[in-house]
Every structure is written in structure tokens, then in C-alpha cells.
Amino acid sequence: MIYVIDHKDSFTHNVVHQFSLFDDVECDDFSKIDKFKLNQASTIVFSPGPGSPKDYPTSSKIYKKLKGKKRIIGICLGFQQILFSEGASIIEQNKIYHGFQSEVLVNKSSKLFNTGQKFKVGRYHSLKLKEPFKAENFDITMRCVISGTAMSFENNIDKIYGFQFHPESFLTLNGKLFIKKILSA
Amino acid sequence: MTKNYLLNEINSSNKSFILYKSKKGFDLFSDFSKKIILNNKNINKFLKKKLKTRKKLKNTDLFIGFFGYEILNNLIGVKLPKQKSINFPKGIFYKPETKVSLKDNLFYKSNSDKKVDKNFKININQKTYTKIFNRFKKKIRSGDTYQIKICTKYKNKSKIDPLDFFCRLAKSNLAPEAFMIKDKNFSIISCSPENLITKNGLSVSTKPIAGTLRKTKNINKTKALNFFRNNIKETKEHNMIVDMERNDLSRICVPGSVRLKKEKSVEEYKDLYHYVSLISGKLKKNVKNIDIIKAMMPGGSVIGCPKINTLNLLNNQEKENRNIYTGSFGFIKFNGDMRFNIIIRSILNYKNISEISVASGVVIDSNAKHEFNENFIKAKALIDLYK
């Protein structure tokens, strides 16, 4: 079972539907987490959401507790939430991407996607990862072709994955593929 | 009584009645046997009520009416701060006993001399608007909202003949979700173009509008489409609403069934062009009408995104109750089928005060002056009725 932790976003249920193609999905608000479901789940997904990771200390707590024990996935804010819990700074961008389709490029540190491959993806983020960023076993694996902003990371040791873009958006072509790859990794 | 004189008859009879745009013309609902005034206590009961179904559904086996903005917020757990209020009902539904189908060219001649004021007072001027606008832009920078709609209200004191207003509006601006309600102490006139819920059996769809272009001599439908396609700001705004409506449908639909049926097309109206999409899905079997209403209302395209946080931001900003504006009007049939619009482009006339509310969106690259003017464009077709 996949447990989606909802940060009160208006895209969370698109995420739920996309993950439902692969497994049973449960979804609860971040303030109403069910411990039983949390234990039962094989995968935890941190949803997109408004604000910044510092607004969701309970999600960071869950992350730290379950890191290495379960597969963990973060999307948009969820991506930032994981990196923030790993000590990263999440900062405002000069140019903001809401409802924007851009191209991302896979670099050679990716174990799941082919180096040099490009994808068209949908973006909804005000904030971004401040770089340089270093955490053990974490690699930035995709970047925006134009701005170079970090768009995805992989931690294949602990099975932790994140996308700054939205695989579930209609703006992301073949978004299913991203989820399939990280669930079967 | 022929159909031609029907509207004159019913209007002079002082009976309450409702007109609602149908595919071929308008449906006239009257002879109300029940009137339910909604509040936070009875709304759940009203929506959960098992409606008696006959073997054969009569065309009057339905409740028709509206939910105001406030009650829709409360229904999803969003509370409004204390606002200036005219104490207009939070929602009203009627059970009609008569339904008559009329053609598009409504035949009505007003013979009353009503006192109509041409001038309107706006509740926030451009300076205040810009201040609010800049505050919201900061909220977009910090990621607290991705798109938010600022509402402005035009008001005046007028005694109007609502049917006369509606017939003239229908002539100049035939909108697919137009409706009017005439009741004893109030009337509502709307040329809403936006359908929020169409539910037939297990199929459900929504048709959000995001993107408005003022008509000029040099623009036709094709040029309008090119304008929207090449305008990154309008496109982004629209994309966001499409993903948001996909999300709201996904709450109640079978996984994998939510589809973008029509992606970004243009619809033409009297003064403007709209950028429109159509999204549909198949309902999960255990979903009830109250679940559909809570998932979809208030309609995302007139609020902004993400819904809950954005509602809180704008509610804390707005000093006056929105009343009917960005609520929903429509009907629930006794077999559970529904049709609801989003109440925009509307006049609420209550105790001889007319109010017209409009809103336009703030996204990261919008411009305060442009959006303030867009609000006026949207109000213009209605304000013109007072001339």
C-alpha cells in the first residue's frame, strides 16, 4: 500500500490517481496521519502543497523516522520537504513557474533514467533548492534545461526519490513512466 | 394563454419563478410547493435527503436554487471572518410544480416604470486594488498561493424589473449557464458562461473558464485562439485551473477515468472571448451528491489555487460578504442527476440595492492595472443594462 500525505494541495488527488495505477493508495491530511496506515504502507509519498517545508514539521518528523525503512517519494513541496529534512535550504526563485511546461535533462548520476534524455514536464513551484547541496547518497539527477534548477533527485541506497516538477500534471508527457520507474527501482 | 404572453402573465402575477438556460432555449420553473432556506444546520440534511423516486421521473421532480459562497466555504470546513453583510440568505432551493420550455428569443414587454440609477459605486478603487494585488503577489513568491482572484463589487440603489433586465441580457449575451430568479424580496440575474457540475448517472464533467479577451473589430475567434496560445501568462493560468479541476474530479472519480476531453478552446460572447476546457470522469459507486458538491464547490476557477489556502487568504482580505457571487446555481433531480453553474456575471437585487461582483486573477506575471480593468470589462455588460 502507498500512503500519500496530503499538504492540503489542489493537485494531491491527481497524485493519488496516478499512484493508484500501480498499487492501493491511501491518502490523509498531514495533520490527521493514521499511525496504522503509516506502519502498513510500503511507500510514503509527500504531496505537493502551498508554503515551504518549514511549515510542515510533522512531515519532516515522519521522514526522519522512516528513512531507510520504507520507500519515500516527494513531489514538488514533498521534494523540498525531503531535501529540507536532509539539511538543505529552500529559497525563493527569481523566476516563478506556475502552470509552466519546461524541459528537464537527465544527467549522468541517474541510475533510473538514461543520461542525456529530455522530458517535457509541468511545474508549479515558487521555491527551489539552494545549491550547492550535499547529503550522503543523494544525487541531483535532472535539471531544468534553461535555468539549471534541480528538478529531481535519487537516493538509490535508501530508496528515496523526488521530483520538483509534477509527474501527475497534464503538462507532463508520459508522467506515468516516472512513477513506474521509481516504484520498481 | 399562449407561450408568448406567458412571461408577461407570470411577471404580473407576482408569483416567484426561475428561468434557466437549456440547450434549445430556456426552462421556466414556477408554482413552488416548497422553499428551503439553507443554513449551516440544515444543509447536510438537505443534501443527504433521500429523494423519492417514481418509476417515471416527472420534469418537475427536482430542487432548483443556489448555494451562496459562504455556505460552500463552511461545507468544506473553511470559516469566514466577520464581514459586512446584508443578511441575504446563504442558499435557497425550490420545488417547482410547473416547468415550461421556451425558445431563446424570450418575448416580454416591460410596462412598469422602475427607478433605475445609472451610476455605480465601486467598493475598492484602483489604489486599494493595487495594494491588495501587491500583497497577494508576495504570497505567490513565498509559495502560499499560485493564483488568487481579487473580487470587486459595484453597487447602486435601483428598483428594477428583473425579467426586463434578463430578457435584454439574454438578447445581448446568450450564455450557456444564464439564469434568473424572481422572488418576493429579491431577484438574481446572471449570464454565467461557466458550468461547474454536470452529473448524469455515473458520468460527471466540469467546464472551467480561465482567460478573457476583450472583443475588438480586429479580433475573430481564430485570432483569439492564437492570442491565448501565444500568451504565456493566460496559458499558465489556464493550465493551473485544468490540473486543479482534474484534482477535484479525482476525489470522487474512479482512478484513471478523469480525462481532459476538450483542451483549451475559445468561446465567443458579446463583449469578450473565453478560454475554456472540458474535463470528465466516471464517479466511484459509493459517491453521494454531497461528496460531489464538497469536492467541486466553490468552483476553483473563480477562487485560485490551491483551494483551501487561497480561500483563507482571500476571505481574510475581503471586507464584504460575497453573497451569491462565486456560489453555484442549478438543480438536483430526484434521481440524483445534477447540473450546477458558477454564479458569475450576476446581479443580485435585494431590498432595492443592486450589486454586481467581478473578480480577476493574480498570478506571478499579472499587472494590477490590467486586472483592475479586466474586472470592469466583466461588469460592463451588466452595468449597461441600467442605461
Tens of pLDDT, residue by residue over B227-256, are 999 999 889 999 999 999 999 999 999 999
Q: How confident is the model at residue B174 (pLDDT cuts 50, 70, 90)?
A: confident
Percentage, residues of chain B above pLDDT 90: 79
Domain range for B299 is: 3-209+281-386
Q: Give tens-digit pLDDT for A4-26.
A: 999 999 999 999 999 999 999 99
Torsion (CA) A88, A89, A95, A97 in degrees, nearest 10:
50
Per the structure, the count of domains in chain B is: 1
Q: Tell me which H or E stretch contains A63.
A: helix A57-66
Phi–psi pair at B367, nearest 5 degrees: -120, 130
Domain-embedded: residue B259: no
The pLDDT score that the predictor gives to residue A72 is: 98
What ipTM was assigned to the predicted interfaces of this complex? 0.97
Residue identified by cell 482572484 is B149
Interface of A with B in 133-162 (CB under 8 A): none
Encode chain B in three state secondary structure: CCHHHHHHHHHHCCCCEEEEECCCEEEEEEEEEEEEECCCCCHHHHHHCCCCCCCCCCCCCEEEEEECHHHHHHHCCCCCCCCECCCCCCEEEEEEEEEEEEECCCCCCCCCCCCCCCCCEECCCHHHHHHHHHHHHHHHHCCCCCEEEEEEEEEEECCCCHHHHHHHHHHHCCCCCCEEEECCCEEEEECCCCEEEEEECCEEEECCEEEEEECCCCCCHHHHHHHHHHCHHHHHHHHHHHHHHHHHHHCCECCCCCEEEEEEEEEECCCEEEEEEEEEEEECCCCCHHHHHHHHCCCHHHCEECHHHHHHHHHHHCCECCCCCCCEEEEEECCCCEEEECCCCEEEEECCEEEEEEEEEECCCCCHHHHHHHHHHHHHHHHHHHC
Round the average pLDDT of chain B to a whole number and report it. 93
* pLDDT value of position A180: 97
User: What tens digit of pLDDT does each residue of B72-93 get?
Assistant: 999 999 999 999 999 999 999 9
pLDDT at B298 over 60: yes
Number of other CB atoms surrounding residue B123 within 10 Å: 17
Q: Is A22 on the interface with B (CB under 8 A)?
A: no
Whole-angstrom CA distances from A111 to A138, A142, B141, B383 are 12, 11, 33, 62
Q: Is residue B168 part of a domain?
A: yes
* Residues of chain A found within 8 Å of residue B292, distances taken between Cβ atoms: none
Q: Nearest chain B residue to A17 by CA: give it.
A: B255
Evaluate whether residue B264 is within a structural domain.
Answer: no
B269 has a pLDDT exceeding 70: yes
In a domain, B248, yes or no: no
> pLDDT value at position B2?
58
Q: How confident is the model at residue B387 (pLDDT cuts 50, 70, 90)?
A: confident
- Asked about A166 being catalytic, the answer comes back as yes
Question: Chain A: nearest CA to B77, how far in angstroms?
Answer: 12
Q: Which of B244, B256, B263 sits opposite A10 (nearest CB)?
A: B244
- CA-to-CA distance for B324 and B89, rounded, in angstroms? 9
Taking only the tens place, the pLDDT of each residue in B196-230 is 999 999 999 999 998 888 888 999 999 999 999 99
Q: Is A76 a catalytic residue?
A: yes
Mean pLDDT on B168-188: 94
Question: Domain containing B306 — which CATH number?
Answer: 3.60.120.10
For position B4, what pLDDT does the model report?
Answer: 66
- CA A109 to chain B, closest CA, distance in angstroms equals 29
pLDDT in tens, B31-68: 999 999 999 999 999 998 877 666 788 999 999 999 99
Domains of chain A in start order, with CATH, are 2-184 (3.40.50.880)
Of the residues A7, A27, A76, A154, only one is catalytic, namely A76
Q: Is residue B254 part of a domain?
A: no
Residue B230 lies in a domain: no
Chain B within 8 Å of A123 (Cβ-Cβ)?
A: no
Q: How confident is the model at residue A70 (pLDDT cuts 50, 70, 90)?
A: very high
Q: Is the pLDDT score of B142 beyond 90? A: yes
Specify if B63 maps to a domain: yes
The pLDDT of residue B56 is 86
Residue B246, in any domain of the structure: no
pLDDT of residue B113: 67
Using a CB–CB cutoff of 8 Å, tell me whether A176 touches chain B. Answer: no
Averaged over B128-139, what is the pLDDT?
A: 94
Of B145, B147, B243, the CB nearest to A170: B243
Assess whether pLDDT exceeds 80 at residue B289. Answer: yes
